[in-house]
Amino acid sequence: MKLLKTDFVLDAKGLSCPMPIVKTKKVMNELQAGQVIEVQATDKGSKADLQAWANSAGHQYLGTIDEGEVFKHYLRKSSNEGFIERKHPRVASNEELETKLEMNEKIVVLDVREEAEYAFCHIPNAISIPLGELEARLSELNKEDKIYVVCRTGNRSDLAAQKLAEKGFVDVINVVPGMSAWTGKTDSLNKEGRK
């Protein structure tokens, strides 16, 4: 399996409870908002506990890859999203995008969340380009396509839509709120994923 790109890999293998979480918490404090961490652990209890801890601490639990001996857990540091003013003028709701997908309209869905967020839950056939890599990877997109940009809550996709418009993309729409409330079809690299 392809490695998921993360900002930090924490080796908590062989450690038993409470150490995997004690270490994760410490690393999380050092990370920037929105960064993604991979926690490798062998303690079977680590999965439910990390999930519950992330929930209570306001971080995003993305999912777990079970490799038999080792569990790889993915979490994203809380990003304080929700209070920024969105600037891209063209906006669509989740429902509008879902309808377009159901009618097989010729559109492109661009998912600008981090790779690990995308991996565990995304709209089928969505293109994954994390916001931070967008400028460098513009050539992977067509300027004339109708592009619906999604992220988790609509903020990163707003920044991405602005960037695309600025670079001459003519038909770019920000989807609000995005994956956090998505009820349509999704794909995942396993069944354990979370939005």
The residue ranges that bind another protein (CB under 8 A) are 16-19, 21-22, 25, 44-45, 48-49, 52-53, 56
Closer to another protein by CB, 53 or 169: give it: 53
Of the pair 7, 18, the CB lying nearest another protein is at 18
Residue 190 C-beta: closest distance to another protein, Å: 19
Residue written as tokens 């609000």?
A: 176
Evaluate whether 46 touches 20 at the Cβ level (below 8 Å).
Answer: yes
**Rounded Cα distance, 126 and 153, in Å:** 16
Nearer to another protein, 41 or 173 (CB): 41
Q: Which of 9, 17, 48, 84 is catalytic?
A: 17
The one-character DSSP state at 90 is: -
Angle at 96 between CA 103 and CA 113, to 5 degrees: 105
Amino acid at 193: G
Q: What's the closest the beta carbon of residue 75 comes to another protein, in angstroms?
A: 13
Find the shortest distance in angstroms from Cβ 110 to another protein.
36
The least CB distance from residue 150 to another protein, in Å, is 30
17 among known catalytic residues: yes
Structure tokens at 63: 């999912």
| Pairing of β 71-76 and β 60-66 | antiparallel
Q: Would you say 17 or 84 has its CB closer to another protein?
A: 17
E-strand spans in 13-145?
36-41, 60-66, 71-76, 91-93, 108-111, 127-128
Catalytic residues: 17
